[in-house]
Amino acid sequence: MSGLASYIELDTVLSLEDALNILEVHQVTEYNKQLVQKYGNECS
């Protein structure tokens, strides 16, 4: 859903460790978006 990897890539090419790294990148990205929404308006 995030567009970082397709199901086919996860099923054939990437390892479990790769998948967990992708998940971590997605979680950090979403967290950073929340911080920008929360604190970004205070800087304006």
Q: Has residue 29 been placed in a domain? A: yes
Residues in the chain, how many? 44
Instruction: Give the residue from 32, 17, 23 showing the smallest Cα distance to 4.
Output: 23
Residue pair 14/38 in contact by the 8 Å Cβ criterion? no
Q: Has residue 38 been placed in a domain? A: yes
The 10s digit of each residue's pLDDT in 13-44 is 999 999 999 999 999 999 999 999 999 867 65
Q: Has residue 31 been placed in a domain? A: yes
Give the CA distances from residue 32 to residues 9, 35, 38, 40, in Å, rounded to whole numbers and listed in that order.
26, 5, 10, 11
Q: Has residue 1 been placed in a domain? A: no
Q: How many CB atoms lie within 10 A of CB 10?
A: 15
Expressed as residue numbers, the domain containing 19 is: 11-43
What pLDDT does 10 receive? 87
pTM: 0.75
Number of domains in the chain: 1
The 10s digit of each residue's pLDDT in 7-19 is 899 889 999 999 9
